[in-house]
Amino acid sequence: MSVCPIDTGRYGREPLKKIFTEEGRIERLLKVEATIAKTHAEIGIIPKEAAQEIEKKASLKYVKIERIKEIEKEIHHETMAMVLALAEQCGKYGGYVHLGLTSSDALDTALAIQIKDALKIIEGKLEKLILKLVEKALKYKSLPMIGRTHGQHAIPITLGFKFALFASEFHRHYERLQEIKSRILVGKISGATGTFAALGKKGILIQKRTLEKLGLGEPLITTQIIQRDRHAELIFLLALIGTSLDKLATEIRNLQRTEISEVSEPFNKQQIGSSTMPQKRNPTKSERITSLSRLLRSMVYPSLENIVTWHERDLTNSANERFTVPESFILLDEMLTEMIEIIEKIKVNKEKIKENLHLTKGLVMSERIMMALTKKGMGRQEAHQTLRKIALKSVNENKEFRITLLQDKEIKKKLTRKEIDELLNPETYTGLAEKVIERTIQAINNSLNKKRGEGLGEADAILFKRL
Protein backbone atom coordinates (compact mmCIF):
# COMPACT_ATOMS: atom_id res chain seq x y z
CA MET A 1 0.00 0.00 0.00
CA SER A 2 1.41 3.37 -1.07
CA VAL A 3 1.58 6.23 1.44
CA CYS A 4 3.80 8.85 -0.19
CA PRO A 5 1.97 10.94 -2.85
CA ILE A 6 5.00 10.49 -5.10
CA ASP A 7 4.39 6.72 -5.02
CA THR A 8 0.64 7.08 -5.54
CA GLY A 9 1.35 9.06 -8.71
CA ARG A 10 -0.06 12.38 -7.51
CA TYR A 11 3.29 14.15 -7.81
CA GLY A 12 6.32 13.40 -9.95
CA ARG A 13 6.90 12.75 -13.64
CA GLU A 14 7.84 9.34 -14.90
CA PRO A 15 11.19 9.92 -16.68
CA LEU A 16 12.75 11.45 -13.59
CA LYS A 17 11.00 9.22 -11.06
CA LYS A 18 12.34 6.17 -12.90
CA ILE A 19 15.92 7.26 -12.19
CA PHE A 20 15.34 6.98 -8.45
CA THR A 21 13.30 3.80 -8.36
CA GLU A 22 14.76 0.73 -6.71
CA GLU A 23 15.36 -0.70 -10.16
CA GLY A 24 17.07 2.49 -11.33
CA ARG A 25 19.38 2.48 -8.33
CA ILE A 26 20.37 -1.17 -8.66
CA GLU A 27 20.89 -0.85 -12.41
CA ARG A 28 23.44 1.89 -11.78
CA LEU A 29 25.12 -0.04 -8.98
CA LEU A 30 25.51 -2.97 -11.34
CA LYS A 31 26.86 -0.64 -14.00
CA VAL A 32 29.57 0.51 -11.60
CA GLU A 33 30.50 -3.10 -10.79
CA ALA A 34 30.69 -4.00 -14.49
CA THR A 35 32.78 -0.93 -15.30
CA ILE A 36 35.32 -1.50 -12.54
CA ALA A 37 35.69 -5.11 -13.70
CA LYS A 38 36.32 -3.90 -17.24
CA THR A 39 39.00 -1.53 -16.01
CA HIS A 40 40.64 -4.29 -13.97
CA ALA A 41 40.76 -6.44 -17.09
CA GLU A 42 42.28 -3.68 -19.23
CA ILE A 43 45.07 -3.19 -16.72
CA GLY A 44 45.62 -6.95 -16.42
CA ILE A 45 44.41 -7.48 -12.88
CA ILE A 46 41.62 -9.93 -13.79
CA PRO A 47 41.01 -12.11 -16.88
CA LYS A 48 39.17 -10.46 -19.74
CA GLU A 49 36.71 -13.35 -19.72
CA ALA A 50 35.81 -12.48 -16.14
CA ALA A 51 35.11 -8.86 -17.02
CA GLN A 52 33.02 -9.91 -20.00
CA GLU A 53 30.96 -12.27 -17.88
CA ILE A 54 30.45 -9.69 -15.13
CA GLU A 55 29.43 -7.08 -17.69
CA LYS A 56 26.98 -9.51 -19.27
CA LYS A 57 25.38 -10.52 -15.98
CA ALA A 58 25.34 -7.04 -14.40
CA SER A 59 21.72 -6.31 -15.28
CA LEU A 60 18.31 -6.85 -13.78
CA LYS A 61 17.75 -9.55 -16.37
CA TYR A 62 20.03 -11.78 -14.33
CA VAL A 63 20.33 -10.09 -10.93
CA LYS A 64 16.81 -10.09 -9.53
CA ILE A 65 15.72 -7.62 -6.90
CA GLU A 66 13.89 -10.41 -5.09
CA ARG A 67 17.13 -12.37 -4.76
CA ILE A 68 19.01 -9.31 -3.46
CA LYS A 69 16.37 -8.81 -0.79
CA GLU A 70 16.45 -12.47 0.10
CA ILE A 71 20.22 -12.33 0.68
CA GLU A 72 19.98 -9.02 2.53
CA LYS A 73 17.44 -10.51 4.92
CA GLU A 74 20.08 -13.03 5.92
CA ILE A 75 23.25 -10.89 6.00
CA HIS A 76 21.78 -7.43 6.82
CA HIS A 77 24.03 -5.63 4.33
CA GLU A 78 22.39 -4.10 1.27
CA THR A 79 25.43 -3.59 -0.94
CA MET A 80 26.95 -6.97 -0.16
CA ALA A 81 23.61 -8.58 -0.98
CA MET A 82 23.79 -7.02 -4.45
CA VAL A 83 27.42 -8.16 -4.82
CA LEU A 84 26.59 -11.74 -3.84
CA ALA A 85 23.55 -11.83 -6.13
CA LEU A 86 25.75 -10.70 -9.04
CA ALA A 87 28.53 -13.09 -8.11
CA GLU A 88 26.06 -15.99 -8.13
CA GLN A 89 25.19 -15.22 -11.73
CA CYS A 90 28.84 -15.00 -12.80
CA GLY A 91 29.71 -18.56 -11.80
CA LYS A 92 33.44 -19.20 -11.64
CA TYR A 93 34.12 -15.51 -12.27
CA GLY A 94 32.03 -14.41 -9.31
CA GLY A 95 35.12 -14.00 -7.17
CA TYR A 96 36.20 -11.02 -9.25
CA VAL A 97 33.06 -9.01 -8.49
CA HIS A 98 33.62 -5.93 -6.25
CA LEU A 99 37.39 -6.54 -6.26
CA GLY A 100 39.24 -3.90 -4.23
CA LEU A 101 36.07 -1.92 -3.51
CA THR A 102 34.20 -0.81 -0.44
CA SER A 103 30.43 -0.35 -0.44
CA SER A 104 30.61 3.42 -0.84
CA ASP A 105 32.68 3.11 -3.99
CA ALA A 106 29.65 1.55 -5.63
CA LEU A 107 27.00 3.53 -3.73
CA ASP A 108 28.43 7.03 -4.10
CA THR A 109 29.40 6.47 -7.72
CA ALA A 110 25.97 5.08 -8.58
CA LEU A 111 24.40 8.07 -6.81
CA ALA A 112 26.54 10.40 -8.93
CA ILE A 113 25.22 8.68 -12.06
CA GLN A 114 21.65 9.13 -10.83
CA ILE A 115 22.32 12.80 -10.14
CA LYS A 116 23.87 13.24 -13.58
CA ASP A 117 20.85 11.70 -15.28
CA ALA A 118 18.43 13.73 -13.16
CA LEU A 119 20.28 17.00 -13.71
CA LYS A 120 20.02 16.48 -17.45
CA ILE A 121 16.23 16.44 -17.16
CA ILE A 122 16.15 19.45 -14.83
CA GLU A 123 18.51 21.36 -17.12
CA GLY A 124 16.30 20.72 -20.14
CA LYS A 125 13.15 21.87 -18.36
CA LEU A 126 14.87 24.90 -16.88
CA GLU A 127 15.99 25.97 -20.34
CA LYS A 128 12.47 25.40 -21.68
CA LEU A 129 11.00 27.58 -18.94
CA ILE A 130 13.51 30.34 -19.69
CA LEU A 131 12.54 30.28 -23.37
CA LYS A 132 8.83 30.41 -22.51
CA LEU A 133 9.45 33.43 -20.29
CA VAL A 134 11.52 35.06 -23.04
CA GLU A 135 8.71 34.48 -25.50
CA LYS A 136 6.20 36.21 -23.22
CA ALA A 137 8.66 39.02 -22.50
CA LEU A 138 8.91 39.77 -26.21
CA LYS A 139 5.18 39.43 -26.79
CA TYR A 140 4.27 41.88 -24.04
CA LYS A 141 7.34 44.10 -23.98
CA SER A 142 5.27 47.15 -25.02
CA LEU A 143 2.17 46.48 -22.89
CA PRO A 144 2.14 49.09 -20.09
CA MET A 145 0.97 47.99 -16.66
CA ILE A 146 1.25 49.37 -13.19
CA GLY A 147 4.34 48.47 -11.21
CA ARG A 148 3.86 47.81 -7.51
CA THR A 149 6.12 48.28 -4.50
CA HIS A 150 5.00 47.32 -0.98
CA GLY A 151 1.83 46.07 -2.66
CA GLN A 152 0.99 49.66 -3.64
CA HIS A 153 0.83 51.26 -7.07
CA ALA A 154 4.22 52.74 -7.93
CA ILE A 155 4.97 53.79 -11.54
CA PRO A 156 4.32 51.98 -14.82
CA ILE A 157 6.37 49.09 -16.16
CA THR A 158 5.43 46.71 -18.96
CA LEU A 159 4.18 43.16 -18.61
CA GLY A 160 7.10 42.04 -20.74
CA PHE A 161 9.47 43.62 -18.23
CA LYS A 162 8.05 41.35 -15.54
CA PHE A 163 8.53 38.24 -17.68
CA ALA A 164 12.08 39.30 -18.62
CA LEU A 165 12.97 39.72 -14.96
CA PHE A 166 11.99 36.13 -14.20
CA ALA A 167 13.74 34.86 -17.34
CA SER A 168 16.93 36.49 -16.06
CA GLU A 169 16.51 34.96 -12.60
CA PHE A 170 16.02 31.45 -13.94
CA HIS A 171 18.92 31.94 -16.30
CA ARG A 172 21.15 32.60 -13.29
CA HIS A 173 20.02 29.24 -11.93
CA TYR A 174 20.87 27.71 -15.31
CA GLU A 175 24.39 29.11 -15.01
CA ARG A 176 24.68 27.85 -11.43
CA LEU A 177 23.67 24.40 -12.65
CA GLN A 178 26.52 24.42 -15.19
CA GLU A 179 28.98 25.51 -12.50
CA ILE A 180 27.94 22.84 -10.03
CA LYS A 181 28.51 19.91 -12.39
CA SER A 182 32.28 19.74 -11.92
CA ARG A 183 31.84 19.57 -8.15
CA ILE A 184 28.91 17.19 -7.83
CA LEU A 185 29.28 14.83 -10.80
CA VAL A 186 32.18 12.88 -9.33
CA GLY A 187 32.48 9.27 -8.27
CA LYS A 188 35.05 7.47 -6.17
CA ILE A 189 36.89 4.16 -6.46
CA SER A 190 39.38 4.53 -3.65
CA GLY A 191 38.55 1.91 -1.04
CA ALA A 192 37.77 1.79 2.65
CA THR A 193 39.31 5.09 3.76
CA GLY A 194 40.14 6.61 0.39
CA THR A 195 43.79 5.50 0.31
CA PHE A 196 43.49 2.94 -2.55
CA ALA A 197 45.14 0.35 -0.27
CA ALA A 198 43.17 -2.62 -1.63
CA LEU A 199 43.60 -1.48 -5.23
CA GLY A 200 47.39 -1.37 -5.10
CA LYS A 201 49.82 0.95 -6.85
CA LYS A 202 47.56 1.39 -9.85
CA GLY A 203 44.62 2.47 -7.73
CA ILE A 204 44.52 6.07 -8.94
CA LEU A 205 44.70 4.88 -12.55
CA ILE A 206 41.89 2.40 -11.91
CA GLN A 207 39.70 5.12 -10.46
CA LYS A 208 40.49 7.55 -13.30
CA ARG A 209 39.70 5.07 -16.06
CA THR A 210 36.58 3.76 -14.39
CA LEU A 211 35.11 7.19 -13.78
CA GLU A 212 35.97 8.29 -17.31
CA LYS A 213 33.98 5.33 -18.66
CA LEU A 214 31.06 6.33 -16.47
CA GLY A 215 31.22 9.96 -17.59
CA LEU A 216 32.08 11.24 -14.12
CA GLY A 217 34.76 13.48 -12.74
CA GLU A 218 37.55 12.32 -10.42
CA PRO A 219 37.94 13.77 -6.93
CA LEU A 220 41.41 14.73 -5.73
CA ILE A 221 40.83 13.08 -2.35
CA THR A 222 38.03 11.35 -0.44
CA THR A 223 37.56 9.33 2.70
CA GLN A 224 35.41 6.23 2.48
CA ILE A 225 32.76 8.50 1.01
CA ILE A 226 32.53 11.51 -1.25
CA GLN A 227 32.37 14.53 1.03
CA ARG A 228 28.81 15.75 1.52
CA ASP A 229 29.47 19.45 1.01
CA ARG A 230 29.06 18.57 -2.67
CA HIS A 231 25.61 17.11 -2.13
CA ALA A 232 24.57 19.95 0.16
CA GLU A 233 25.43 22.43 -2.60
CA LEU A 234 23.31 20.41 -5.02
CA ILE A 235 20.27 20.32 -2.75
CA PHE A 236 20.65 24.02 -2.03
CA LEU A 237 20.64 24.77 -5.77
CA LEU A 238 17.53 22.66 -6.32
CA ALA A 239 15.84 24.48 -3.43
CA LEU A 240 16.98 27.82 -4.82
CA ILE A 241 15.38 27.06 -8.18
CA GLY A 242 12.26 25.90 -6.37
CA THR A 243 12.12 29.12 -4.39
CA SER A 244 12.23 31.20 -7.57
CA LEU A 245 9.39 29.06 -8.90
CA ASP A 246 7.54 29.87 -5.68
CA LYS A 247 8.26 33.56 -6.25
CA LEU A 248 6.87 33.40 -9.80
CA ALA A 249 3.86 31.37 -8.68
CA THR A 250 3.15 33.91 -5.93
CA GLU A 251 3.30 36.75 -8.46
CA ILE A 252 0.79 34.97 -10.67
CA ARG A 253 -1.47 34.24 -7.70
CA ASN A 254 -1.42 37.89 -6.66
CA LEU A 255 -2.09 39.15 -10.17
CA GLN A 256 -4.98 36.68 -10.45
CA ARG A 257 -6.72 38.06 -7.35
CA THR A 258 -10.26 39.19 -8.16
CA GLU A 259 -9.45 42.80 -7.32
CA ILE A 260 -6.44 42.81 -9.67
CA SER A 261 -7.31 40.18 -12.29
CA GLU A 262 -4.49 41.11 -14.72
CA VAL A 263 -3.21 37.63 -15.48
CA SER A 264 -4.42 34.15 -14.60
CA GLU A 265 -3.17 30.61 -14.92
CA PRO A 266 -4.91 28.33 -17.47
CA PHE A 267 -8.30 26.93 -16.50
CA ASN A 268 -9.88 24.37 -18.82
CA LYS A 269 -13.57 23.93 -19.55
CA GLN A 270 -13.97 20.83 -17.39
CA GLN A 271 -11.98 22.17 -14.44
CA ILE A 272 -13.78 22.78 -11.14
CA GLY A 273 -12.59 25.57 -8.85
CA SER A 274 -14.71 24.83 -5.80
CA SER A 275 -16.98 22.04 -4.63
CA THR A 276 -19.58 24.57 -3.45
CA MET A 277 -18.90 27.86 -5.32
CA PRO A 278 -19.35 27.24 -9.06
CA GLN A 279 -17.87 30.60 -10.05
CA LYS A 280 -14.43 29.98 -8.51
CA ARG A 281 -11.31 29.83 -10.72
CA ASN A 282 -8.70 29.16 -8.06
CA PRO A 283 -4.97 29.37 -8.96
CA THR A 284 -4.40 25.83 -7.71
CA LYS A 285 -1.44 25.09 -9.97
CA SER A 286 0.51 28.07 -8.67
CA GLU A 287 -0.55 27.28 -5.11
CA ARG A 288 0.70 23.72 -5.55
CA ILE A 289 4.09 25.03 -6.66
CA THR A 290 4.29 27.21 -3.55
CA SER A 291 3.35 24.28 -1.33
CA LEU A 292 5.89 21.89 -2.87
CA SER A 293 8.57 24.57 -2.70
CA ARG A 294 8.16 24.73 1.07
CA LEU A 295 8.80 21.01 1.28
CA LEU A 296 11.75 21.25 -1.10
CA ARG A 297 13.40 23.96 1.02
CA SER A 298 13.14 21.69 4.05
CA MET A 299 15.59 19.29 2.37
CA VAL A 300 18.41 21.82 2.75
CA TYR A 301 18.75 21.44 6.51
CA PRO A 302 19.47 17.68 6.65
CA SER A 303 21.80 18.09 3.67
CA LEU A 304 23.87 20.60 5.65
CA GLU A 305 23.84 18.28 8.66
CA ASN A 306 25.14 15.46 6.45
CA ILE A 307 28.41 17.31 5.89
CA VAL A 308 29.41 16.43 9.46
CA THR A 309 30.49 12.80 9.84
CA TRP A 310 32.76 11.04 12.31
CA HIS A 311 36.36 10.62 11.13
CA GLU A 312 36.52 8.89 7.72
CA ARG A 313 32.75 8.25 7.68
CA ASP A 314 29.67 7.10 9.51
CA LEU A 315 26.13 6.30 8.41
CA THR A 316 24.36 9.39 9.69
CA ASN A 317 23.94 10.76 6.17
CA SER A 318 22.80 7.55 4.55
CA ALA A 319 19.19 7.11 5.63
CA ASN A 320 17.99 10.68 5.05
CA GLU A 321 19.73 10.91 1.65
CA ARG A 322 17.36 8.22 0.43
CA PHE A 323 14.70 10.91 0.88
CA THR A 324 16.48 14.21 0.28
CA VAL A 325 18.14 13.53 -3.06
CA PRO A 326 15.33 11.70 -4.91
CA GLU A 327 12.54 13.82 -3.46
CA SER A 328 14.32 17.12 -4.14
CA PHE A 329 14.73 16.20 -7.80
CA ILE A 330 11.22 14.77 -8.15
CA LEU A 331 9.58 17.78 -6.48
CA LEU A 332 11.53 20.28 -8.57
CA ASP A 333 10.78 18.38 -11.77
CA GLU A 334 7.07 18.45 -10.92
CA MET A 335 7.20 22.19 -10.20
CA LEU A 336 9.10 23.02 -13.39
CA THR A 337 6.71 20.98 -15.52
CA GLU A 338 3.74 22.71 -13.94
CA MET A 339 5.22 26.19 -14.36
CA ILE A 340 6.14 25.61 -18.01
CA GLU A 341 2.49 24.81 -18.71
CA ILE A 342 1.28 27.82 -16.73
CA ILE A 343 3.53 30.26 -18.60
CA GLU A 344 2.80 28.69 -21.95
CA LYS A 345 -0.98 29.04 -21.50
CA ILE A 346 -1.17 32.06 -19.19
CA LYS A 347 -4.15 34.34 -19.71
CA VAL A 348 -3.54 38.09 -19.98
CA ASN A 349 -6.42 40.50 -19.33
CA LYS A 350 -5.37 43.62 -21.23
CA GLU A 351 -8.54 45.51 -20.36
CA LYS A 352 -8.01 45.00 -16.62
CA ILE A 353 -4.34 45.90 -16.94
CA LYS A 354 -5.35 49.20 -18.54
CA GLU A 355 -8.05 49.80 -15.95
CA ASN A 356 -5.62 49.25 -13.08
CA LEU A 357 -3.08 51.51 -14.73
CA HIS A 358 -5.56 54.39 -14.38
CA LEU A 359 -7.02 53.25 -11.05
CA THR A 360 -5.41 55.99 -8.96
CA LYS A 361 -6.75 58.73 -11.24
CA GLY A 362 -3.30 59.91 -12.25
CA LEU A 363 -1.56 59.79 -8.86
CA VAL A 364 1.01 57.26 -10.11
CA MET A 365 2.37 59.96 -12.44
CA SER A 366 3.48 62.26 -9.61
CA GLU A 367 7.13 61.30 -10.12
CA ARG A 368 6.92 62.34 -13.76
CA ILE A 369 5.35 65.68 -12.82
CA MET A 370 8.07 66.19 -10.20
CA MET A 371 10.82 65.63 -12.76
CA ALA A 372 9.10 68.01 -15.18
CA LEU A 373 9.00 70.71 -12.48
CA THR A 374 12.73 70.36 -11.84
CA LYS A 375 13.35 70.96 -15.54
CA LYS A 376 11.31 74.16 -15.19
CA GLY A 377 13.60 75.43 -12.46
CA MET A 378 11.94 74.18 -9.27
CA GLY A 379 14.23 72.39 -6.79
CA ARG A 380 13.75 68.65 -6.51
CA GLN A 381 12.85 68.68 -2.79
CA GLU A 382 10.44 71.59 -3.26
CA ALA A 383 8.80 69.80 -6.18
CA HIS A 384 8.46 66.64 -4.10
CA GLN A 385 6.86 68.47 -1.19
CA THR A 386 4.49 70.38 -3.48
CA LEU A 387 3.30 67.24 -5.22
CA ARG A 388 2.98 65.38 -1.94
CA LYS A 389 0.50 68.00 -0.70
CA ILE A 390 -1.41 67.95 -3.99
CA ALA A 391 -1.55 64.14 -3.98
CA LEU A 392 -2.88 64.06 -0.42
CA LYS A 393 -5.52 66.62 -1.38
CA SER A 394 -6.59 64.45 -4.33
CA VAL A 395 -6.99 61.45 -2.05
CA ASN A 396 -8.76 63.31 0.74
CA GLU A 397 -11.18 65.05 -1.63
CA ASN A 398 -11.50 62.05 -3.95
CA LYS A 399 -10.57 64.15 -6.97
CA GLU A 400 -8.59 63.33 -10.08
CA PHE A 401 -4.92 64.26 -9.75
CA ARG A 402 -5.26 66.36 -12.92
CA ILE A 403 -7.89 68.59 -11.33
CA THR A 404 -5.92 69.27 -8.17
CA LEU A 405 -2.82 69.95 -10.24
CA LEU A 406 -4.66 72.51 -12.35
CA GLN A 407 -5.99 74.15 -9.20
CA ASP A 408 -2.54 74.67 -7.70
CA LYS A 409 -1.01 78.11 -8.27
CA GLU A 410 2.61 76.94 -8.22
CA ILE A 411 1.94 74.20 -10.74
CA LYS A 412 0.13 76.57 -13.10
CA LYS A 413 3.17 78.86 -13.06
CA LYS A 414 5.39 76.04 -14.33
CA LEU A 415 3.23 73.77 -16.49
CA THR A 416 0.53 74.37 -19.10
CA ARG A 417 -2.69 72.37 -19.26
CA LYS A 418 -1.42 70.60 -22.39
CA GLU A 419 1.85 69.69 -20.70
CA ILE A 420 0.02 68.32 -17.67
CA ASP A 421 -2.26 66.19 -19.86
CA GLU A 422 0.73 64.75 -21.70
CA LEU A 423 2.65 64.10 -18.49
CA LEU A 424 -0.30 62.28 -16.91
CA ASN A 425 -0.43 59.61 -19.62
CA PRO A 426 0.95 56.45 -17.91
CA GLU A 427 1.28 54.58 -21.19
CA THR A 428 4.12 56.88 -22.22
CA TYR A 429 6.05 56.59 -18.97
CA THR A 430 7.73 53.17 -19.08
CA GLY A 431 11.23 54.55 -19.36
CA LEU A 432 13.74 52.23 -21.01
CA ALA A 433 11.72 49.11 -20.19
CA GLU A 434 11.71 47.82 -23.75
CA LYS A 435 15.43 48.38 -24.18
CA VAL A 436 16.16 46.63 -20.88
CA ILE A 437 13.99 43.68 -21.96
CA GLU A 438 15.84 43.33 -25.26
CA ARG A 439 19.23 43.69 -23.58
CA THR A 440 18.32 41.03 -21.03
CA ILE A 441 17.07 38.56 -23.61
CA GLN A 442 20.11 39.08 -25.82
CA ALA A 443 22.40 38.42 -22.85
CA ILE A 444 20.52 35.20 -22.08
CA ASN A 445 20.81 34.17 -25.70
CA ASN A 446 24.54 34.87 -25.79
CA SER A 447 25.12 33.00 -22.54
CA LEU A 448 23.34 29.93 -23.85
CA ASN A 449 25.75 30.10 -26.80
CA LYS A 450 22.92 29.85 -29.29
CA LYS A 451 23.36 32.94 -31.43
CA ARG A 452 21.39 32.98 -34.66
CA GLY A 453 19.31 30.06 -33.45
CA GLU A 454 22.13 27.50 -33.48
CA GLY A 455 21.00 24.36 -31.70
CA LEU A 456 17.51 25.72 -31.10
CA GLY A 457 14.25 24.45 -32.46
CA GLU A 458 12.71 26.39 -35.33
CA ALA A 459 10.28 28.29 -33.11
CA ASP A 460 12.99 29.34 -30.69
CA ALA A 461 15.28 30.44 -33.52
CA ILE A 462 12.55 32.71 -34.84
CA LEU A 463 12.00 34.00 -31.33
CA PHE A 464 15.54 35.22 -30.93
CA LYS A 465 15.72 36.63 -34.44
CA ARG A 466 13.02 39.13 -33.43
CA LEU A 467 15.73 40.99 -31.55
| Residue 348, φ and ψ in degrees, nearest 5 | -115, 125
| Residue 147, φ and ψ in degrees, nearest 5 | -90, 150
**Helix or strand run (H / E) with residue 158:** strand 152-158
| Residue 452, φ and ψ in degrees, nearest 5 | 60, 25
Closest CA to 323 of 335, 338, 305: 305
Determine the straight-line distance between the first and last CA of the chain, rounded to whole angstroms.
Answer: 54
| Residue 47, φ and ψ in degrees, nearest 5 | -65, 145
| Catalytic annotation, residues | 150, 274
Give the Cα separation of 416 and 402 in Å (integer). 12
Q: What residues contact 291, with CB distance under 8 A and at least 6 apart?
A: none
Closest CA to 354 of 97, 143, 128, 141: 143
DSSP 157: E
